[in-house]
Amino acid sequence: MAETSSITPQNSTISHVGIIMDGNGRWAVDRGLSRSAGHIQGAKAVKDIISAASHFGLKILTLYAFSTENWNRPKYEVAVLMRLFKSELHKQTAELIHKNVKVRFIGSRARLPKTLVQTMNQLEANTAHNTGLTLQLAINYGGRQDLLEAFKKLAHDVEATKLKPEDITVSDISDALSTGGISDPDLIIRTSGELRLSNFLLWQAAYSEFAFVDKHWPSFNPEDFVDVIENATNRTRRFGGL
Ligand code: IPE
Ligand code: IPE
Ligand code: MG
Which residues does the annotation mark as catalytic?
22, 70
What's the whole-model pTM score? 0.96
Task: Output the CA 31–ligand 2 centroid distance in Å.
Answer: 20
Q: Counting ligands in written order, which one lies closest to the CA of residue 36?
A: 1
What is the residue extent of each domain of the chain? 16-142+185-233
Ligand nearest 198 Cα, by number?
2
CATH class of 16-142+185-233: alpha beta
At 7-25, the pLDDT tens digits run 676 677 899 999 999 999 9
Average pLDDT over residues 21-40: 98
The pLDDT-based confidence of 105 (bands split at 50, 70, 90) is: very high
Computed over every residue of the chain, the mean pLDDT equals: 96
Q: What is the pLDDT of residue 1?
A: 42
Given pLDDT bands bounded at 50, 70 and 90, which one contains residue 50?
A: very high
Does the Cβ of 192 fall within 6 Å of ligand 1?
yes
- 193-200: list long-range contacts, CB under 8 Å, 24+ apart: 193/23, 194/22, 197/20, 197/143, 198/20, 198/22, 198/64, 198/67, 198/69, 199/67, 199/68, 199/69, 199/141, 199/142, 199/143, 199/144, 200/18, 200/20, 200/64, 200/67, 200/138, 200/141, 200/143
